[in-house]
Structure 1
């Protein structure tokens, strides 16, 4: 227990009110268990600062969550998003659309892929973003929230956005302008012709057959067969072409086999020829043939005079490779325009 003087000294430092002093004096309590007003004010200010920091942190986190929610806002309606997914469903692998191909072909591709799995159009809407890549994803993300209520409306928006990439339709004139290349096989030309024909709208079968006969190389067996007995449809023409394609492939295979056999025979003949030829005797004692000296017409003028009279006809020579300190500085070459030798001594 504290004495009265010690309690009054403690009161002076702790700033305890008078009623508190009397209470301590009467009851003789230990004043160390009683906080002062300064301590209470400090704690309350500290608590307020903690509350302010917590409130600011909550506001920042709330704003971050709101911004994140804005970035993941779906353009689909709540009915599409809440539609249940079938059991054991796996998303098909789509050809990615990057904004450079035909949008109608892409929609048709998705419908065919999803038809193998399900006919749920809400699920088709959910799977549609997985077939987009690059800037097309930004297009889907920028659609208004809840603006897509069906798969048909999504396809209409998609096609109208990338309608400029639509493949142009071809008319019947594109078939009559086709020609079989000189080295093009029948199978390759038939495939190319059928691909072009499939892009032509309302093409009569007999018209397509006539265009194919005109485009073929004249004089080959298949062309003669078509002229003698003209088919009525392209299906009949393709069936008849099957036998000629096999015959052409067999001829090509025989030609490749013949070329391989001839190449092997040539290689064997070279090997036999090397074995028959006697080996060259290499002896250091054998006498060397004397070199035949070339006849050179002697010049009647000096090289310096020759260069002065015809210097416009000479090209600039490459610089002298020998270092300058190793050359004779008293000799100058007009052709090299450098020191080291005289013009009459220049070998270049």
Structure 2
């Protein structure tokens, strides 16, 4: 770091006093961990009425620094700064490693909707990346947004076959599709929740009998899940906010019910028992089944 203090100004700068009626503007403070050019841009726009008063521009700039940046400012050597342009140069040079990488419109074409990302989240991410591009052409942004969608998505078909839209109209249309997607997913999850939580029927109880163990089956899962032959089902996917988050199942890796009460885990555990992998947990009074049953662990 350059060995440079408050006494760094020339005598003219040190004697600079705010003009009559001057009110200290509100500045965003700079700590030394962000883009120095952005800070200078904000400072100049805030001090636009005094930009011709070079000495005042230098003196007030010190009040916009804090932390590490203020410590750096205090190390500026005497008589080293003669103008605000010089101060700006030294400041940006000191914090050059924090310069933001400028984006071009080509960057937008690298933004692709992830398979499990909602339209709402995709729009939010796209807007954030577009905001990093100065003077981005709207037609290019519209094309990039459309190309980032899966070709099978109804919004993509709407955009590719419909009339040309402004970017604002495209965002409005995407919002409608987001609401439709969320409502559809919500209904699907509600149906799945009811199916998982329904009480067993007499037919279920008659056809599903499980081996008794000396410990809770959730405890058995904790011991078996790190075995190389053990298979966990894929995690739950989709819109999960409507599930009971006070209950967690370690087998399907998601909320909605407890591990001990999950039918798929009971079925898979029965298969492992038939293969002789759970003998240490068996109730000795229970005879182990002799034939394994094939069980799918897809949730």
How many pairs align?
199
> Structure 1 residue 250: deviation in Å?
6.1
The corresponding residue for 1:132 is 65
- Change in Cα spacing, 1:228 to 1:258, as seen in structure 2 (3 Å) is closer
1:214 is matched with which residue: 138, 144, 147?
Answer: 147
- Change in Cα spacing, 1:133 to 1:171, as seen in structure 2 (3 Å) is same
2:179 is matched with which residue: 235, 240, 249?
Answer: 249
Q: Summarize the alignment of residues 316-335 of structure 1 with structure 2, pairs less than 5 Å apart.
A: none
For 1:294 and 1:191, how far apart are their aligned partners in 2?
A: 57
The corresponding residue for 1:156 is 89
Q: Could you list the per-position Cα deviations for residues 38-64 of structure 1 after superposition, in whole angstroms to 9, with x for gaps in the alignment?
A: xxxxxxxxxxxxxxxxxxxxxxxxxxx
For 1:253 and 1:94, how far apart are their aligned partners in 2?
A: 42
Higher relative contact order (CA 8 A, sep 6+): 2
Structure 2: gaps (5+ residues)? 200-283, 288-299
- Change in Cα spacing, 1:192 to 1:95, as seen in structure 2 (3 Å) is farther
> Structure 1 residue 217: deviation in Å?
2.2
> Structure 1 residue 104: deviation in Å?
0.9
For 2:186 and 2:50, how far apart are their aligned partners in 1?
A: 50
Q: Summarize the alignment of residues 187-336 of structure 1 with structure 2, pairs less than 5 Å apart.
A: 187-200=120-133, 204-229=137-162, 231=164, 236-249=166-179, 252=182
> Structure 1 residue 251: deviation in Å?
5.4
For 1:162 and 1:75, how far apart are their aligned partners in 2?
A: 20
> Structure 1 residue 252: deviation in Å?
2.8
Determine if contact 1:172/1:203 at 8 Å carries over to the other structure.
Answer: yes
Whether 1:97 aligns to 2:31 is yes
Determine if contact 1:169/1:200 at 8 Å carries over to the other structure.
Answer: yes
Q: Summarize the alignment of residues 61-80 of structure 1 with structure 2, pairs less than 5 Å apart.
A: 73-79=7-13
SS of the residue corresponding to residue 223 of structure 1 reads helix
For 1:78 and 1:104, how far apart are their aligned partners in 2?
A: 26
> Structure 1 residue 175: deviation in Å?
2.3
Larger Rg: 1
Higher helix share: 1
Whether 1:180 aligns to 2:113 is yes
Structure 1: gaps (5+ residues)? 1-70, 271-291, 296-348
For 1:163 and 1:293, how far apart are their aligned partners in 2?
A: 75
Determine if contact 1:231/1:237 at 8 Å carries over to the other structure.
Answer: no
- Change in Cα spacing, 1:230 to 1:237, as seen in structure 2 (3 Å) is farther
Determine if contact 1:175/1:211 at 8 Å carries over to the other structure.
Answer: yes
- Change in Cα spacing, 1:243 to 1:200, as seen in structure 2 (3 Å) is closer
Determine if contact 1:91/1:127 at 8 Å carries over to the other structure.
Answer: no
